[in-house]
């Protein structure tokens, strides 16, 4: 192994790094794998079960062997693929799964016990002995296995995680920067589409960077670099290098992981959510190894990877090589090795009629049965005449064929289909809506075919968007695909590896079949095939072939495993980027938040929002004094309250009315424009989810309000109903809570104050109770609702959020001039309890419409979510706890929420409890405490006495059961 001339590395910028404590030097443009190979380091890791030494197998993200830990201590990263790690100055890396190191690993003794560690040995070995008092599994086997299990070690030191999350939108997402992807991106970009090109390499070009071929009269690498530069200069294109699209999700959403070389002042990883109107999958193909004896030894490499290290990284991976394959790819690899000065000891082409133009020892119709040596020292070749010949070599470059990278097309439950002509699976048609597979990932074999497929896919994608693209001329490129044949399992003795990291061999798959684990999914779990960090990218199809052979079925008849995201490992830190501190517990502030702070209001959390508790005045000693004063504003003059935190969901579409009928218990389809109606929502189990209002702003246009705490829950509920329960309805939902700043104006003088700010004042008779519509404030379009959460004549006015602070200040000033003012959450709670109105203290997830006295709101003429469940006998039992009001009548006047209710003379024990107190407040209007409670047979017990007992606070109060509306039960104040 040595450096050779050429390559795409920057020899003017040497880079010093360390591996397992030893100093090495590479060049800018090297990966850790290429730099270590250039320095003669062949053992980079150890296998999981047997701790066999492992070297580099591939040159991309499919690498199963060369997993390393980057860094030491805090911030170290285990299981990094050396083939994807760009070396940087001062990089410190360590091999994994070896003690004391990967070069000399004492745990390699496991390999001697391989006959005892076959597939399923855990289930068969660690079951006993079952002796009295012996806990062999818990005390012996489990601790040992857990200590030995795992790849790499996580550092437990808390360290800042340099990760970020981001969002992007485009007309066309092109996944992969090889010839297919570059041509697709260029075609769409020249048509004026917004394009994102995502490629996992730092140098787009795909196979063009690793092969010696010409495109458009220049080297493939130069052509790719020119196209990338052209795309990067276009304002409608974003070229995202080091970015792997990891998953496909509903409605054109794609997850992507972007890696950045540390030390540049940017997050090391960014997880993107990309929403694309259309996408082209140009992910290429993955070369598969051949199952032959000792094919896991350092020095055994994929043929295409060998060409990449020679041509791109200027590394000769060995001094003497044997090349094995059954296509023209093997001849190309041999030619490139010869140009690099590597001795080609033999070229073995399994095709009997193959010919060779190279000056090398050539075996047509031959097979490689295995390699010898702890690291490759010789290769066993079975010639066509049956003679077994051993050839001295330290490198075996082999190829069993190529698998199209179909993984992303299976993330929405699509299944790939088998093509006999290429002996591989390709994406099924329409597997992902809006995504078009093209190029090698769709079975194309030549560079020209890939260029053509990329162009055609972009044209088709834009046509689906109603845009016309002029197809650019295609450059000249290689367009001859030699015939090949697949290579699966070679004859001969010895263990033949399929899953290199998890130590799964052909023998393990055959054992699974004998023990009746014949289903591919059962075989996978029994043997752990494809469950290593590479997810079987290199070995899965070969394992299918082995299983098919063992069961007498065809490969497509055997089936495929289920591909799931992510396509490559994604750190939890990247997935949860921004989820620490305030990102975990978000602080949300309304537009009027600065006003509340300037007035000295203590802030409390309501859901994720911060709302003012009360607004203290000079001389007030307690919060109760402030609260009582604020309640007086609303009852006697006018009060102003910021209610922007209430959930607001915009519902539009031809079927919006029918949809709202389905999610609400009462009818909304009869609601006329300009009117609002109180509504009740149930969960599917018949319990109350939330209450709120529904305003009809126009034909097919509604705004649903929710409680602050349930805004997100209701939005999810409605989205689920629209997408799953009633996909036949044409309706669209959007959360607009943050878009509108909403202020309540409540009290006898509310209309007069409101008219001071409206451009067109309201006349008597305008805007009756529960009316809604458009108004104007200072030339700004606003929405006005005649609704009340205080029981008084009240309005709520909503303006775009950027005007919220200004309007709130104005309203507070005008209210103070009328003897009123601003009120906070404490006063709001008092006002609603006096009126018997509900919040989530009563809507606690256990109550039903019947419990809350709202059974009359459940329509008998239509279906709605929860209707069937709500009618169950147990949910309509008269003995259920039901809503009532309570007030103190004894010497003790205090009420506390959360307390239990008992018969006056009963012992205050759990079995005697008859209900609980949900909300309490001191009513300055009535001069005593009032409370809402859920009491067994509650409404039938008005006038009875019960005892409230709070064991925690040591309070016992005799109470009278009353109607929950303590003030103005007929609603005359609100309607007047």
Q: Mean pLDDT throughout 801-821? A: 97
pLDDT recorded at residue 158: 63
Cβ atoms of 974 and 841 within 8 Å: the answer is no
508 compared with 584, residue with greater pLDDT: 508
Query: Coil, strand or helix: which one is 950?
Result: strand
Sheet holding 77-81, edge to edge: 22-28, 10-19, 91-95, 67-70, 77-81
Mean pLDDT over each residue of the chain, to the nearest integer: 93
| Over residues 921-946, mean pLDDT | 97
pLDDT tens-place string over residues 412-455: 999 999 999 999 999 999 999 999 999 999 999 999 999 999 99
Residue 965: pLDDT above 70?
yes
Residue 583 has pLDDT above 90, yes or no: no
Task: Kindly report, residue by residue over 274-310, the tens digit of the pLDDT.
Answer: 999 999 999 999 999 999 999 999 999 999 999 999 9
- Residue ranges, CATH 3.50.50.60, the chain: 163-286+404-464, 290-399
Calculate the dihedral angle through the C-alpha atoms of 471, 475, 477, 480, rounding to the nearest 10 degrees: 40
pLDDT at 134 over 80: no
The pLDDT value given to residue 967: 95
Q: Could you read off the pLDDT of 633-686 as tens digits, one per residue?
A: 999 999 999 999 999 999 999 999 999 999 999 999 999 999 999 999 999 999
How far out from the chain centre does Cα 753 lie? 49
Q: In angstroms, what is the C-alpha Rg of the chain?
A: 36
Each residue's pLDDT tens digit, 849-897: 999 999 999 999 999 999 999 999 999 999 999 999 999 998 999 999 9
Delimiting residues of CATH 2.40.30.110 domain(s) in the chain: 878-970
Give the number of other Cβ atoms within 10 Å of residue 823's Cβ: 30
Looking at domain 878-970, what is its CATH homologous superfamily?
Aminomethyltransferase beta-barrel domains (2.40.30.110)
What is the reported pLDDT for 765? 84
What mean pLDDT comes out for the span 540-548?
Answer: 94
What was the pLDDT predicted at 534? 86
Instruction: Note the pLDDT of residue 159.
Output: 62
**pLDDT at residue number 151:** 78
Least confident of 101-105, 184-188, 748-752, 968-972: 101-105
Q: Given CATH 3.40.50.2300, say whether it is the number of domain 2-109.
A: no
pLDDT at 129 over 70: no
Pick the CATH number of 587-876 from 3.40.50.720, 3.30.1360.120, 2.50.20.10, 3.20.20.70: 3.30.1360.120
d(CA 883, CA 851): 6
Looking at the chain, the domain(s) classified CATH 3.30.1360.120 span 587-876
Q: Is 120 left (phi over 0), alpha (psi -120 to 50) or beta?
A: left
* Domain 290-399 CATH (choose: 3.30.360.10, 3.50.50.60, 3.40.50.10880, 3.40.30.10): 3.50.50.60
Segment 211-229 mean pLDDT: 96
With a threshold of 0.85, does the pTM exceed it?
A: no
Q: What is the pLDDT of residues 449-468, one digit of tens each?
A: 999 999 999 999 999 999 99
- The correct answer on CATH 3.40.640.10 for the domain covering 163-286+404-464 is no
Q: Which residues pair with 781 in a beta bridge?
A: 776
Q: Is the pLDDT of residue 264 over 60?
A: no
Nearest Cα to 16, choosing from 108, 83, 93?
Answer: 93
Residue 72: what pLDDT? 82
962: confidence class by pLDDT, cuts 50, 70, 90:
very high
In the chain, CATH 3.10.20.440 covers: 2-109
C-alpha–C-alpha distance, residues 103 and 832, integer Å? 74
Query: Does 113 score more than 90 pLDDT?
Result: no
Q: In the prediction, which pLDDT does 111 show?
A: 80
Q: What is the reported pLDDT for 890? A: 86
Instruction: Return the pLDDT at 374.
Output: 93
Q: SS3 of 870, please?
A: helix
């Amino acid at each position: 192994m040595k450096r050779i001339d050429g390559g795409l590395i920057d020899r003017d910028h040497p880079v010093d790094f360390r591996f397992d404590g030893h100093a090495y030097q590479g060049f800018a443009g090297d990966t850790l794998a290429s730099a270590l190979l250039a320095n003669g380091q062949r053992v980079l890791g150890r296998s999981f079960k047997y701790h066999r030494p492992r070297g580099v197998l591939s040159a991309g993200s499919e690498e199963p062997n060369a997993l390393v830990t980057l860094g030491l201590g805090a911030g170290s990263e285990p299981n990094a693929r050396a083939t994807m790690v760009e070396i940087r100055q001062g990089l410190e890396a360590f091999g994994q799964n070896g003690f004391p190191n990967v070069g000399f690993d004492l745990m390699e003794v496991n390999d001697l016990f391989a006959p005892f560690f076959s597939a399923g040995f855990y289930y068969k070995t660690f079951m006993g002995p079952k002796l009295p008092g012996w806990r062999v599994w818990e005390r012996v086997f489990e601790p040992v296995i857990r200590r030995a299990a795992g790849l790499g070690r996580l550092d437990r030191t808390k360290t800042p995680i340099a990760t970020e999350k981001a969002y992007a939108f485009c007309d066309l997402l092109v996944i992969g920067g090889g010839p297919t992807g570059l041509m697709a991106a260029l075609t769409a970009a020249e048509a004026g589409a917004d394009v994102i090109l995502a490629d996992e390499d730092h140098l787009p070009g795909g196979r063009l960077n690793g092969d010696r071929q010409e495109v458009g009269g220049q080297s493939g690498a130069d052509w790719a670099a020119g196209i990338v530069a052209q795309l990067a200069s276009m304002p409608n294109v974003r070229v995202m290098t080091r970015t792997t699209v990891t998953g496909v999700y509903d409605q054109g959403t794609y997850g992507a992981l972007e890696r950045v070389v540390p030390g540049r002042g940017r997050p090391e990883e960014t997880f993107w959510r990309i929403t694309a109107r259309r996408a082209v999958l140009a992910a290429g193909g993955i070369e598969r190894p051949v199952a032959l004896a000792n094919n896991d030894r350092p020095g055994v490499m994929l043929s295409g990877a060998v060409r990449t290290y020679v041509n791109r990284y200027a590394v000769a991976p060995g001094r003497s090589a044997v090349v094995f394959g059954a296509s023209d790819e093997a001849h190309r690899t041999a030619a490139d090795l010869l140009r690099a000065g590597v001795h080609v000891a033999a070229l073995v082409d399994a095709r009997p009629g193959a010919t060779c133009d190279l000056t090398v020892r050539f075996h047509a119709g031959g097979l490689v049965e295995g390699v010898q040596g702890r690291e490759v020292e010789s290769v066993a070749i079975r010639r066509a005449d049956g003679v077994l010949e051993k050839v001295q070599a330290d490198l075996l470059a082999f190829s069993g064929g190529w698998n199209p990278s179909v993984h992303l097309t299976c993330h929405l439950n699509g299944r790939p289909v088998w093509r006999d002509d290429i002996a591989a699976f390709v994406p099924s048609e329409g597997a992902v809506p809006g995504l078009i597979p093209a190029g090698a990932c769709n079975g194309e074999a030549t560079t020209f075919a890939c260029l053509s497929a990329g162009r055609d896919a972009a044209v088709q994608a834009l046509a689906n968007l109603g845009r016309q693209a002029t197809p650019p001329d295609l450059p000249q490129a290689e367009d001859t695909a030699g015939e090949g044949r697949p290579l699966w399992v070679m004859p001969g003795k010895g263990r033949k590896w399929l899953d290199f990291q998890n130590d799964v061999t052909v023998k393990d798959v055959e054992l699974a079949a004998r023990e009746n684990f014949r289903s591919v999914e059962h075989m996978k779990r029994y043997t752990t095939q494809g469950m290593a960090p590479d997810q079987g990218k290199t070995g899965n199809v070969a394992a299918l072939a082995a299983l098919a052979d063992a069961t007498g079925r065809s490969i497509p008849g055997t089936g495929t495993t289920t591909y799931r995201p992510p396509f490559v490992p994604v750190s939890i830190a990247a997935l949860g980027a921004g989820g620490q501190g305030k990102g975990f517990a978000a602080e949300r502030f309304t537009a009027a938040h600065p006003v509340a702070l300037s007035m000295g209001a203590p802030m409390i959390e309501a859901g994720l929002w911060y709302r003012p508790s009360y607004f203290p005045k000079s001389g007030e000693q307690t919060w109760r004094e402030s609260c009582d004063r604020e309640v007086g504003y609303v009852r006697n003059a006018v009060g102003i309250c910021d209610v922007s935190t209430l959930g607001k969901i915009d519902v539009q579409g031809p079927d919006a009315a029918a949809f709202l009928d389905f999610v609400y218990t009462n009818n909304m389809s009869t609601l006329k424009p300009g009117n609002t109606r109180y509504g009740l929502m149930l969960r599917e189990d018949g319990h109350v989810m939330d209450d709120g209002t529904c305003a009809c702003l126009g034909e097919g246009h509604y705004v649903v309000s929710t409680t602050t705490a349930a805004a997100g829950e209701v939005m999810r509920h409605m989205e689920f109903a629209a997408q799953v329960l009633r996909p036949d309805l044409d309706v669209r939902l959007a959360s607009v809570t943050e878009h509108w700043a909403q202020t309540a104006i409540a009290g006898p003088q509310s209309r007069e104050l409101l008219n001071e700010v409206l451009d067109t004042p309201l006349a008597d008779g305008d805007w009756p109770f529960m009316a809604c519509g458009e108004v104007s404030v200072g030339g700004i379009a606003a929405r006005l609702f005649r609704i009340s959460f205080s029981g008084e004549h009240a309005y709520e006015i909503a303006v775009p959020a950027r005007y919220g602070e200004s309007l709130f200040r104005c309203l507070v000033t005008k209210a103070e001039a009328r003897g009123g003012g601003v009120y906070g959450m404490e006063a709001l709670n008092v006002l609603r309890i006096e009126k018997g109105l509900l919040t989530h203290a009563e809507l606690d997830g256990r109550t039903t419409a019947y419990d809350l006295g709202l059974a009359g709101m459940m329509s008998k003429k239509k279906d709605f979510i929860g209707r069937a469940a709500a009618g169950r006998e147990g949910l309509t039992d008269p003995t259920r706890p039901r809503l009532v009001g309570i007030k103190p009548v004894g010497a003790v006047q205090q009420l506390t929420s959360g307390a239990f209710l008992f018969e006056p003379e009963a012992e205050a024990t759990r079995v005697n409890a008859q209900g609980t107190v949900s909300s309490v407040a001191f009513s300055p209007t009535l001069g005593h405490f009032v409370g809402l409670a859920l009491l067994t047979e509650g409404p039938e017990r008005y006038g009875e006495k019960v005892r409230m007992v709070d064991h925690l606070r040591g309070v016992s109060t005799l109470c009278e059961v009353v109607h929950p509306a303590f003030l103005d039960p007929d609603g005359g104040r609100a309607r007047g």
